[in-house]
Amino acid sequence: MQALQNRTAGRRSVKYEEDLHKHLGLVLFGAYVLGSASSVAGMPGPVWLPTLTGAAIGGVFAAAHRYCSARVWRPPNAPLNILVTGGTKGLGKALAREFLTHKDSVVITGRSHAALAQTMAALQSELQGLGYEHTPQLRGIVCDVTQPQQVAALAEQAREMMGSVDVWICNAGCSGSFKHFLDQEPETIEAVVKTNLLGTLLCSREAAKLMLGQQLGGHIFIMDGAGADGSATPQYAAYGATKASFPQLAASLRAELASTHVGVHVLSPGMMLTELLLEGATAANKQAFNILCEHPETVAAFLVPRVRSAVSCGLNGTYTRYLTPASAIYRLLTSPGRIGRFFDASGAPVYAPEHERILGKGAKATARQQALARARTSSLGVAYSLSLALSFVVLSLDSHASAFTGH
């Protein structure tokens, strides 16, 4: 016990020193940049004014960084118990992998024992290949989320396996076929509505009942998709209609659970290269995918740290979006550098299969993309840089105006 306390204290000391260096760096860098820029630009007046201004800006952003690190970005002090429905492929599998890299315990669901066994074996192999010799517990439970009895049994089995469920991610979904709504078979429409809407309703209900019986409560995360913002989803009308209901469902659940320790959140993964997206896509569509899409493992690297921080900070009602309007605009502005990322001019895929991206030749590129996705300071960094630039412009205009008035 004493050794554990010493290691914990040591880690806290190292973290404190790292943060101290980072915060001092923000102050000193701001002072240096504005002071040097004013000298180079030949601004009249004392150089200490822009230097102090730069230091003050650095101090403000150092305080903001410290606040966010303590109150917004803070990771949990201990591993979490996670349940991910629809975890045998796509984003569900990527989420499971990412949680496991954080040493969390994970239960995934699928509709067949074969699919679960294949996914669990692949995840264990990938984690060992990534250097995780002692992987946390990964378990699988067969469950059809459209069946109330199976969902109730899922909640009970997950509790028995892990002791509690800190996070329940309602990820299981069905897209249906790529057809006009009038041409869709009734059976397909029923499958989409039952899996997406009924499945999410049943899972949210059982998750809330389970978490209400836990001393520390828990957090439910509902996965949105195309149509969640009310926009049209041609050829996927049923899918879009179900996803459009999720923000409203989350709001209703939050209202009903407001006086409890159960949080309800929404996750928005944006556009991912999955079977759903690629079905029926034209060559022109795929050129747009080069700009706006990412692989599931990159999106998972973005979502998971934010899910863990929401739990750690006791937040409720978060809506975590991977592809925001601002990031979409940035991608469009930088589109020349994204040509041919995933598809060539004819629409043929040029990206590696999942296993190669995780452990093969594409592993380093994947790791870089995931590191960028996990980063939490990019918006602060942009604001810091813009503040320094704006301050320089204001100081420059003020000094020249003063000089002109003096003449």
- Provide the annotated active-site residues: 239
Which tokens is 391 given?
């301050």
| Other Cβ atoms closer than 10 A to 51 | 19
Q: Return phi, psi of residue 135, to 5°.
A: -80, 150
DSSP sequence for 276-326? HHHTT--HHHHHHHHHH-B-HHHHHHHHHHHHHHHHHTT--S-EEESS-HH
The total of other beta-carbon atoms located within 10 Å of residue 39's CB is 12
> For residues 146 and 6, what is the distance between their CA atoms, to the nearest angstrom?
49
Hey, what long-range contacts does 378-386 have (CB within 8 A, 24 or more apart)?
380/61, 380/64, 380/65, 380/68, 383/61, 384/26, 384/30, 384/57, 384/58, 384/61
State the helix-helix crossing angle for 2-40 and 48-71, rounded to 10 degrees: 150
CB atoms near residue 164 (< 10 Å): 17
Residue 110, SS3 per DSSP: strand
- The first and second tokens of residue 142, run together, are 């067969």
**Listed residue (212, 145, 139, 205) closest to 173, CA to CA:** 145
> Counting Cβ atoms within 10 Å, is residue 310 exposed (0-12), middle (13-18) or buried (19+)?
buried
